[in-house]
Amino acid sequence: MVGLKIKEYLDENGIKYSYLSERAGMPMNILSPTLNGKRKMSAEEYFMICEILGLPAETFAPDKKVSKQSE
């Protein structure tokens, strides 16, 4: 699921869930189940998260491997 890939990216890059929650305006009780694959993410939420992370939308496509940001 996309949420799990985003969670993996956040973990690998040391980005706090609280940072994403605040920037996206998503309460943690909504964001957490989304990142854990227990809640479906809307397209609007997905594109907003990609924008906040500064990533192209295809980054978390099913056939893509998530990797650390370039330094």
Tell me the per-residue pLDDT of 5-62, one tens digit each, with 9 for 90 and over. Answer: 999 999 999 999 999 999 999 999 999 999 999 999 999 999 999 999 999 999 998 7
Cβ burial, residue 22 (10 Å; 0-12/13-18/19+): middle
Number of neighbours of residue 35 by Cβ within 10 angstroms:
24
Q: pTM of this prediction? A: 0.84
Q: How many helices (H) and strands (E) does the chain have?
A: 4, 0
Domains and CATH numbers, the chain: 2-55 (1.10.260)
- Look up residue 28 and give its two tokens: 């943690």
Q: Which of 2, 11, 42 is nearest to 24 (CA)?
A: 42
- Give the pLDDT confidence of 17-32 residue by residue, as tens digits: 999 999 999 999 999 9
